[in-house]
């Protein structure tokens, strides 16, 4: 049902004859059943919740239109939160007779979303098309690039120590700062099989569910913002070092998800969440520690500085700031939130500063940059 047909039906049935802007929830629910209108069960539940948030058991006309149109504003979410305690249906865990794919969708809902209303909303609205293609495509491209360079160099671990590796047009090197694409394309290159395996695993285990829930646009924006922030941060804080690997984007996704879980700890229903949180933090810290070790204590002779670890930290900062704002705004318009514009302003200011830094600071500070291969 679209907005125009809903408006026409309400006018024909005179559900709001006095033009008060409110409609009785029971009256509308009866209209839905009598006309056999295709309305998701989750939306009927939310209609009841909206009515329960109102003292007279009525629903604001605009909120009803937003509900039917699958739009949710901040005021809509607050109204749902006020009335959700008495929702009539059981949780998704009690849904019987689900197929394999729908059980996976239910698993994703409980992994990502902290509120039962949001979980039910996602479960009933989810469609398998389009699939989460961004994270899968990025991971596949990284694997293909790694296999190509591994076969070409005949080296699968610590590839950065091979003299031909840094000649790749994808690697970020401070001597090639003018080639702007390298600030993003370095995410396709990896130190070795161990870094690629770690990043690919997290991208599939965390990135794909996040993309299924929040959509391609938001998750790709978060991932690429972490990647770009990673290389720019290295160019400011570790000016002689190159960068490889998608860790900036991976840490943006993981940090945003972990921060969202912590802030909504009581509402999250993912099993063994404390143990999994500890394991995730240990693994992420170990990867950072390994990157620090390779940067300052290389195990093999190298012709120049090894890749920096600052991209990991920059990605984590992006995740806690921009990423948390995105994940806490499920099915809400980001442009309607003041916090989103504050985050964008901060990120834009950082980008502008980094651009000027890369143009002028290297010469002004007299930084000796290793010659690019």
| Helix extents (H) in the chain | 3-13, 25-35, 41-52, 61-68, 74-83, 100-112, 116-125, 133-153, 182-185, 193-202, 208-214, 216-237, 247-263, 273-296, 310-318, 324-327, 338-356, 362-364
**DSSP state, 18?**
T
Residues 12, 14, 19, CA angle at the centre, nearest 5°?
125
Catalytic residue status for 247: yes
- What is the Cα–Cα distance from 285 to 189, expressed in whole angstroms? 21
Question: How far from the centroid of its chain's Cα atoms is residue 62's Cα?
Answer: 29
Contact between residue 149 and residue 193 where contact means Cβ atoms under 8 Å apart? no
- CA 185 – CA 180 distance, rounded (Å): 9
Nearest Cα neighbor of 329 from 270, 256, 250 is: 256
* Residue of 214, 235, 312, 321 marked active site: 312
The catalytic position among 247, 255, 308, 329 is 247
| 255 CB-near residues (< 8 Å, 6+ apart) | 315, 316, 317, 318, 319, 320, 323
Is 312 annotated in the active site?
A: yes
State how far the Cα of 124 lies from the Cα of 116, in Å rounded to an integer: 12
Q: 193-202 and 247-263 helices cross at what angle (nearest 10)?
A: 40
Instruction: Give the residue among 10, 79, 89 at the shortest CA–CA distance from 42.
Output: 89
Q: What are the catalytic residues? A: 247, 312
């Amino acid at each position: 049902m679209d907005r125009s047909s809903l408006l026409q039906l309400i006018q024909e049935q005179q559900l709001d004859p006095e033009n008060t802007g409110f409609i009785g929830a029971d009256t509308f629910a009866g209209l839905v059943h009598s006309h056999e209108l295709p309305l998701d069960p989750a939306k009927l539940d939310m209609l009841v919740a909206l009515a329960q948030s109102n003292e007279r058991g009525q629903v604001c006309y605009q909120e009803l239109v937003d509900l039917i149109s699958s739009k949710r504003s901040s005021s809509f979410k607050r109204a749902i939160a006020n009335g959700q305690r008495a929702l009539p249906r059981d949780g998704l865990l009690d849904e019987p007779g689900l197929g394999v794919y729908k059980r996976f969708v239910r698993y994703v809902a409980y992994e990502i979303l902290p509120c039962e209303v949001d979980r039910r909303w996602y479960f009933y609205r989810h469609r398998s098309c389009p699939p989460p293609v961004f994270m899968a495509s990025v991971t596949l491209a990284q694997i293909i690039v790694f296999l190509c360079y591994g076969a070409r160099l005949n080296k699968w671990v610590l590839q950065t120590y091979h003299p031909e590796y840094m000649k790749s047009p994808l690697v970020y090197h401070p001597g090639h700062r003018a080639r702007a694409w390298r600030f993003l394309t370095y995410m396709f290159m990896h130190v070795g099989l161990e870094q690629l395996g770690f990043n690919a695993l997290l991208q599939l285990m965390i990135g794909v569910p996040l993309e299924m829930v929040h959509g391609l646009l938001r998750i790709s924006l978060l991932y690429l913002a972490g990647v770009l922030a990673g290389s720019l941060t290295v160019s400011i804080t570790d000016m002689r070092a190159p960068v490889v690997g998608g860790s900036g984007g991976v840490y943006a996704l993981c940090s945003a998800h972990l921060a969202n879980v912590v802030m909504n700890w009581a509402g999250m229903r993912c099993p063994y969440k404390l143990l999994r949180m500890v394991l995730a933090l240990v693994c992420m810290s170990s990867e950072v520690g390994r990157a620090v070790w390779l940067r300052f204590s290389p195990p093999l002779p190298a012709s120049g500085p090894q890749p920096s670890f600052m991209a990991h930290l920059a990605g984590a900062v992006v995740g806690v700031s921009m990423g948390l704002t995105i994940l806490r705004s499920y099915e809400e318009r980001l442009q309607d939130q003041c916090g989103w514009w504050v985050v964008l302003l901060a990120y834009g200011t950082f980008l502008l500063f980094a651009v000027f830094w890369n143009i002028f600071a290297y010469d002004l500070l007299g930084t000796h940059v290793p010659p690019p291969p």
